Amino acid sequence: MTAFDADLSGFVTHKPGEADRLELLVRGARCAACMARIEKAAAAVRGVEQARLNLSTGKLSVTFRAGKADPARVVHAVEAAGYTTTLFDPESAIQTRDAEGRRLTLALGVAGFGAGNVMMFSVPVWAGLFGQELTPSARALMYWASAIIATPCALHAGMVFFQSAWNSLRRGRANMDVPISIGVILTLIVSFSETIQGGRHAYFDAAVTLLFLLLIGRWLDHKLRARALNAARDLLALQAPIARRLDADGTEHGVPVAKVAVGELVSVTPGERVPLDGQVTEGFSSLDNALITGETAPLPVEPGSIVHAGALNMDGRLLVRVQARAEDSALAAIARLMEAGAQTKSAYVRLADRAASIYVPVVHSLALATFVGGWVLGLGPREALLRAAAVLIITCPCALGLAVPAVQIAASARLFRKGVLVKSGAALERLAEVDTVVLDKTGVLTQGRPDLIDPPTAMLAPAAQLARASRHPLALALVRKAGPGPVCVDAREVAGLGVMGLVDGRPARLGRAAFLDLNNVDASESELWFGFEGETSVRFQFADRLRHDATATVTALRKRGLSVEILSGDVERAVARAAEGAGISKWRAHLAPIEKSKAIDDLKADGCKVLMVGDGLNDAAALSRAHASIAPGAAIDASQNAADLVFEGDGLMAIVQAIDISRAARARALENFGFSALYNVVAAPMAIFGLVNPFFAAIAMSGSSLVVTLNALRMHWAGRN
């Protein structure tokens, strides 16, 4: 968002008895110095009581002294310090506190406390198992002490699993938490009955240690998702922002887009995005539709033109009469497609759940068979139940519970160091499965910005003097090529046409062909003309160039057995050129956003698992419908939000690295499952034949978890070399 001069009081939350409060998302803060600078800048604004930045989430909370709230000044101050900001819609800001994370941290702490302290009483019992002197009454004392510590801890820490198991059972499915919950509860009941009857086999320590190990896995998984959630929240930057509504008295008010009614007037200054669909009533400008349609050429608009929400206004102030409410706009139609895509993605069954669907019935029938079989064969109900419980606890799912999260956190940390942000563990799993890669052209294969090609060198320096007076993307490209230098005198920009001014004392013009009265040339949108008054004009041509490693990336993807194609919204000529440059033979051009997502659906119907790489708003729907998706860090927020992974930097090779690492992660996870299965094949018979004692259970459980974690760490070490 650009600095805003209109009234923004609609974004301040008022709660009786509390200070007025404003929440901003600040981007670009990385270190202690940034944090201090931002907080100081915000706190220096008149009326601000306190400003505090959360560096982990990028959220700046500002409280105001009573009746002094002036949010626009705070936005100004922070942006003047050099950071971009986004206002939170007050309603959505409430949900940003990470309640789930706090609950898991607390449960982890409680389980850790229980597991550690119960050992104090478990070690004497184990010593008793190995012939050390331990009278039955002393053992009963140890067990009672264990019960007093372990039971409340297990019930508190286990609540996370009990609730999830209950929810899953109510929907008629059994997830991993069902055997965990049954195992923990049954173990506690059996242990109490053993303790009361003076028996030798109580497993209080096992129950709470199991929960501790499982919670580590759960906590890691949550951490991974929480980091991604922060990235996803940036969608608000596109959807909740502000429209400058022009009221009847001629004053501008910044209001949430949702509050603008059809027929009202909004103004759009250069550098802002059009907030809502509508018709231009006043002003001339050109619009950058690259992120909406994928077209690279700017589109000139004048009174009467129809404009779509999301287009970037480049050079003139426009007044737009709103024709559709926010939820009816073209943008909202794309958002609905994205929502539908997200639903199909949530139906994806994760590796761990697939493992659970095999594990749960096998282990439960085994435990039941042990109980029934043991009773029938004359063990008596007490011993039979004890062995059944031993089966449940020894075939412990903690290796399974850790197998995937430990690998995925190591994989995502490795990708993070390479500048790739992974939004969820499921995303990594889906990415490992893809067989087709669909690339967008503008902004993915190409840089997404025009570059000057083969300039007439003699005229570059004088033309750049005019170009420096404009913010038009073609002018910026010209300046980039020319480097630093003087600005012309008496510069005047005519919106949508060009710039005129005095260069070295002579009047000159830079702009469209029509601006220089050249009517008989073959004019195109991706060129500028420059000429001194009365002299012949020269042409500067611009093109959107391929990224430097586009061709290498396509080759590398092919080498991994992936088929590559392009789906673009740009005109045929431009797409054909890019496809040829990158060495891709399958491409389609001129696709509307809906057609793009339709094309993805068709590929899916053919049995392909598609990886979509896209950056524009026109890709957002396709990104959310594809099996897996990646967006560059320069992409529009909606696309970053829809994508599973986001990569930084100029190169496309990150896509190849992400695929490699996700495949390695999948291999590690499968190895871990293999190990868990092997361990259970050995351990389960021991439990069935009554060979397990509390000491063995404790060693086996932590040992298997340790092996699984070490295997996951190979992922981490591999990245170091």
Partner 1 sequence: MNIIFVLAPASLVLALVGLGAFWWSVKDGQYDDPAGDAARILNDEPDDGPLP
What's the closest the beta carbon of residue 55 comes to partner 1, in angstroms? 3
CB under 8 A: which stretch of 116-124, 254-262, 338-346, 504-512 binds partner 1?
A: 116-124
x/- track of binding to partner 1 for residues 138-157 (CB under 8 A) = -------x---x--------
Q: Which two tokens stand for residue 327?
A: 């939820």
55 binds partner 1 (CB under 8 A): yes
Report DSSP state, residue 286: E
Binding range to partner 1, per CB under 8 A, among 56-64, 297-305, 493-501, 554-562: 56-64
Q: Specify the residue for token string 């077209």.
A: 295
Is residue 66 part of the contact set for partner 1 (CB under 8 A)?
A: no
- Cα–Cα dist 565/582, whole Å: 10
Is 97 a binding residue for partner 1 by CB under 8 A? The answer is yes
The sign of the CA dihedral 479, 482, 484, 487 is negative
- For the record, the structure tokens of 517 come out as 């009265």
Q: Which residues contact 358 (CB under 8 A, 6 or more apart)?
A: none
Q: By rule CB under 8 A, what count of residues binds partner 1? A: 30
Q: Is 581 in the site for partner 1 (CB under 8 A)?
A: no
Helix, strand, coil content of the chain in percent (nearest 5)? 55, 20, 30
Residue 52 found at the interface with partner 1 (CB under 8 A): yes
Q: Is 50 in the site for partner 1 (CB under 8 A)?
A: yes
**Smallest gap from residue 698 Cβ to partner 1 (A):** 19
* 61 is a contact residue toward partner 1 (CB under 8 A): yes
Q: What are phi and psi of 132, to 5 degrees?
A: -70, 160
Q: Find the shortest distance in angstroms from Cβ 56 to partner 1.
A: 4
Q: Which residues are catalytic?
A: 440
Q: Which residue has the tokens 């932590």?
A: 702
The H or E element spanning position 383 is: helix 381-394
Compute the least distance from the CB of residue 196 to partner 1, in Å.
Answer: 21
- Binding of partner 1 by 110 (CB under 8 A): yes
Does position 113 interact with partner 1 (CB under 8 A)? The reply is yes
Q: Applying CB under 8 A, which part among 107-115, 312-320, 516-524, 530-538 lies near partner 1?
A: 107-115
**HEC string for 688-717:** HCCCCCHHHHHHHHHHHHHHHHHHHHHHHH
Q: If binding is defined by CB under 8 A, does position 109 make contact with partner 1?
A: yes
Distant-in-sequence, close-in-space partners of 592: CB < 8 Å, separation ≥ 6? 293, 569, 618
Residue carrying structure tokens 């497609």: 337
Give the C-alpha separation, 662 to 101, whole Å.
Answer: 25
Give dist(CA 147, CA 122) in Å, integer. Answer: 11
Least Å distance, CB 414 to partner 1, is 19
Task: Name which of 31 and 377 has its Cβ closer to partner 1.
Answer: 31
Quick one: 219 or 371, whose CB is closer to partner 1? 219
If you write DSSP's letter for every residue of 110-135 in order, what string do you get? Answer: HHHHHHHHHHHHHHHHHHHHTT----
Radius of gyration of the chain (CA): 32
In the complex, the smallest distance separating the C-beta of residue 221 from partner 1, rounded to whole angstroms, is: 17
CB closer to partner 1 out of 82 and 583: 82
One symbol per residue from 15 to 44: x for binding partner 1 (CB under 8 A), - otherwise; what is it?
Answer: ---x--x---------xx--xx--------
Measured distance CA(720)–CA(367) in Å, rounded? 43
| Interface ranges with partner 1 (CB under 8 A) | 18, 21, 31-32, 35-36, 50, 52-57, 61, 63, 97-98, 101-102, 105-106, 109-110, 113, 116-117, 120-121, 145, 149
